[in-house]
A = this chain, B = another copy of it.
Amino acid sequence: MKKIPVGILGATGMVGQNYIALLAGHPWFEVAYVAASPRSAGKKYGDAIAGRWALPKPCQPSLAELVIADASDVPRAVAAASRGELTFVFSALEMGKEEIVALEERYAAAGIPVVSNASANRWTDDVPMLIAEVNPDHADVIPLQRKARGWDKGFIAVKPNCSIQSYMTPVWALLQAGYEIRRMIVTTMQAVSGAGYPGVPSLDIIDNVVPYIGGEEEKSEKEPLKILGTVENGKIRSAEAPLISAHCNRVPVINGHTVTVSMEFGGKKPSVEQVERIWSEFRALPQELKLPMAPEYPIIVHSEANRPQPNKDRDVCKGMAVSVGRVRSCHVFDLRFVGLSHNTVRGAAGGGILNAELLKSKGYLA
């Protein structure tokens, strides 16, 4: 099977680098097009990232030779697509919100689907914000999006913020099992890689905690509601529950966002054992379809009292599983637990790739 040629917009940034690293050896996709800011355009990818490559595994030599396109040069991408050298793009753009919305729309309008990691289009109401295990059906707003925009093959799909990944799949598994979650209070302890590169200065985080991340609490509270929403009249209408309150903190951890969660149920309340069973047994469409990036176990339940821990558990199932532990009752709400997910894999490039696999399976990346 010939691999599908994909592009990466924002290929030199932290998330772009993660796409490059995670797509190495991917069975369906191969990176054939890299685009970045005008400053990098025209350089070989290897030269552009020299001294800025932030990952343990080196960049594949073949990609180092790719010449970087200007991300704003949509006609160039269209030309590549017409030669069969580009089917869709992953967007890891780092620009102002309006610029990203406009640029992602130009790609989509030109027939090039955009699977985006950026937050810019998350609240566009006909753009699905996908966690492949949770709301794969939201992908089906794409035909309506195309129709409304007058787009033919192009579309825009996004993934949510990294901070919610540690609790969103567990929450969904409980909802799907018939339990109603009314309210949640969550406190995140987030890794520095979530801030990109150079990101958090070391002077601010060695021997320290920063109890604030701009915009993160709002995302952590609101994005779950769109993901749990319903498609109505070609748009996604957000759910009204669970009501979430988030405290977001930065801690001296390189990768892996940890979260403490307290949940209040409406109606019947599951026992600790029921919750652990529901999570252990949870499988969803990506597992059914055996998508290449899908974790075999979407939720790993730990029984030791002191797990999950970012340093020890973030890499489980290629960094794509959510680890949970310390499921226990709560005197204030009903149940508490600790969640963990790898923010630059599950929460960023890995989640984006899984979304693309889902979209391919559903026929939207034909």
Interface residues of chain A, those whose CB is within 8 Å of chain B, are 50-51, 54-57, 183-185, 187, 189, 192-193, 197-212, 214, 221, 243-245, 247, 249, 251-254, 258, 260, 262, 304-313, 315-316, 325-326, 330-333, 336, 338
Contacts and interface: CB of A to CB of B under 8 A. Distances in A.
A250 B202 CA distance: 11
A220 B18 CA distance: 37
B306 A254 contact: no
A338 B206 contact: no
Contacts of A333: 185, 245
Contacts of A203: 54, 192-193, 197-200, 254
Nearest to A300: B58
A85 B31 CA distance: 49
Instruction: Give the most central of A204, A208, A312: most B CB within 10 Å.
Output: A208
A47 to B, nearest CB: 12
Contacts of A54: 203, 312
Contact of A202 (B56, B201, B305, B306): B201
Instruction: Give the most central of A198, A247, A252, A326: most B CB within 10 Å.
Output: A247
Given A189-B189, A203-B192, A304-B50, A221 B331 contact: yes
A249 B260 contact: yes
Contacts of A325: 211
A309 B210 contact: yes
A205 B207 CA distance: 11
A332 B245 contact: yes
A182 to B, nearest CB: 9
Contact of A309 (B189, B208, B221, B315): B208
Instruction: Give the most central of A201, A325, A326: most B CB within 10 Å.
Output: A201
A44 B353 CA distance: 41
A185 B311 contact: no
B260 A310 contact: no
B189 A251 contact: yes
Contacts of A311: 56, 206-208, 254
Contacts of A206: 192, 202, 205-207, 252-254, 311
B315 A185 contact: no
A320 to B, nearest CB: 15
Contacts of A197: 201, 203
Contacts of A315: 56-57
Nearest to A193: B203
Contact of A306 (B187, B212, B336): B212
Contact of A209 (B55, B185, B258): B258
Contacts of A243: 331-332
A312 B208 contact: yes
A332 B183 CA distance: 7
Given A209-B310, A211-B260, 16 more contacts: A56-B316, A192-B206, A198-B204, A201-B201, A206-B253, A206-B254, A207-B254, A208-B312, A209-B253, A209-B309, A210-B306, A211-B325, A243-B332, A245-B262, A247-B336, A251-B251
